[in-house]
Amino acid sequence: MTKLLVVAAALASLAGTATSQTTFASITGAVTDASGAAIASARITAANLETNIKTTGQSSDLGNYNLAQLKEGAYEVRATAPGFKEFVAQNVLLAARDIRRVDIVLEVGSVDTRVEVSAGATLIETETARISDTKGARPRTPSTAGRRNPSGSTSPRTARPPTSSTNCPSARAAAGSPAPVAC
C-alpha cells in the first residue's frame, strides 16, 4: 500500500512539469459588440505572416477565446460572426511563451465589410505577472573570443592585479628597500 502511494505521488509531481515546458505563445481575449455584450461562436483566426500557418478557434458562450500553441512571430488576427463586420488586427507580435491579449469589438454590419486595426496589439503582456527578455543567438566574434585578463579569467568582473611582488620588475629590484614600491 505504501509503495502505491509513493508511485502515485511521484506521477502526480511529474504531471505538472510536462505541461509547463513550452516555448509556444497564445493569443487570448474576449469578443464583444459595441455595447459590450458577449458574442458567442465568433470565428477567430490567427495567421502567421511568415509561414501563413493559420490557427482557428471559436469564442465561448461568454465571448472568451484562446488560440494556443502559436510559434513566435508576427500574426494577423481575424474575427467574424454572422451579422457583424469582419475584424482584422495586423502585426500582432508574439515572443516565446507570450500570452497576448487581443480584445475584439465587432460592429454591426454586413460580412462583406471589415474593420481593420493596423496598429497591432499592445506589447505589454497583461495576462501574467511574468517579466522576460528574448534575445536571438549571437556568435562570438574573434575580437572577444579567448580574451583574458591578468588573473587568467575571461570575465571582466573578476580581474585582479597581481598579488605577488615578484610579478613587478621594480619590486624585485627594490626587494631590500623599506619603502613600498608601486607597480
Sheet holding 43-48, edge to edge: 54-58, 43-48, 73-80, 86-94, 114-117
pLDDT score, position 78: 97
pLDDT score, position 12: 62
Contact 72, 97 (CB under 8 A): no
pLDDT score, position 110: 75
pLDDT score, position 22: 82
Q: How far apart are CA 171 and CA 110, in angstroms?
A: 90
pLDDT score, position 109: 87
pLDDT score, position 17: 47
Q: How far apart are CA 115 and CA 138, in angstroms?
A: 40
C-alpha cell at 3: 509503495
Partner residues linked to 117 by β-bridges: 89
> Which mean pLDDT values do the consecutive 10-residue runs of the chain (183 residues) have?
62 55 92 96 97 97 97 96 94 93 93 58 57 56 56 53 53 54 57
* Amino acid identity for residue 119 in this structure: A
pLDDT score, position 21: 74
pLDDT score, position 33: 96
User: 22-117: which CATH number, 2.40.30.10, 3.20.20.70, 2.40.128.640, 2.60.40.1120?
Assistant: 2.60.40.1120
